[in-house]
Amino acid sequence: MRKLIALVLTAGVASPAFAASGPFVSLGNTDFVVLLAFLVFIGVLFYFKVPSLIGGALDTRAEGIQSELDEARALREEAQTLLASYERKHKEVQGKADAIVAAAKEDASLAAEQAKADLESSIARRLATAQDQIASAQASAVKEVRDQAISVAVAAASEVIAKQMTAAEANKLIDNAIADVGAKLH
């Protein structure tokens, strides 16, 4: 600090002394008055410890900035930790989602195969039912045709017999039938 004062005095004293005309140490010389005022000002600053106050304020400010930087660094590290945690959780959730999608696809595939098998068995049952209905209708139609044929044949036979039979032959047939029944019953 003393070196600074000596440097200021040397620079301040030497320059005006060479530039002024007349005696330098005189209150009439403005350069000397300015130098004197400057030295008094510097002295007042040192007397009231302004440099140490400024230094202390700067140190306080530097400490505040350092604490803010430390806090920002800590917050950054915490944010990075949280980010890593969220990325890890995101990967886990993505893996679970992929597993759920794969399981859903597998379930859908199995359900589609089951539905296909159920549809095939349903079609087979309906086809068998339709074939049974067709066979039943066919048997019913054949029976109706036979019944109709029998009735037509009986009607035709009775008509033919009725035309060709005489009363004597009818009585003879009746007597034979009664004898046949009597022999079979006793």
Task: Decide if 56 contacts 45 (C-beta within 8 A).
Answer: no
- Residue 38 to residue 9: CA distance in whole angstroms: 10
Judged by average pLDDT, the poorest of 41-45, 68-72, 82-86, 164-168 is 164-168
Torsion of Cα atoms, 117 then 121 then 122 then 124, to 10°: 140
- Residue 37 to residue 43: CA distance in whole angstroms: 10
Rounded to two decimals, what is the model's pTM? 0.38
Q: In sequence order, what E strands does the chain have?
A: none
Long-range contacts of 121-126 (CB under 8 A, 24+ apart): none
- Residue 176 to residue 170: CA distance in whole angstroms: 10
Q: Over range 51-60, report the average pLDDT.
A: 92
* pLDDT at res. 91: 93
> Band of the pLDDT at 123, cuts 50, 70, 90?
very high
Judged against a pLDDT cut of 60, whether residue 183 lies above it is answered with: yes
Q: Which amino acid is at 22?
A: G
Query: Which position has the token pair 């033919």?
Result: 160
pLDDT digits (tens, 9 = 90+) for 84-99: 999 999 999 999 999 9
Judged by average pLDDT, the poorest of 1-10, 113-122, 132-141, 165-174 is 1-10
| Strand, coil or helix: 132 | helix
Q: Over range 14-19, report the average pLDDT.
A: 51
- Residue 42 to residue 11: CA distance in whole angstroms: 14
Residues in CB range of 19: below 8 A, 6 or more apart: 31
> Band of the pLDDT at 153, cuts 50, 70, 90?
confident
Torsion of Cα atoms, 72 then 77 then 80 then 86, to 10°: -110
Residues in CB range of 91: below 8 A, 6 or more apart: none
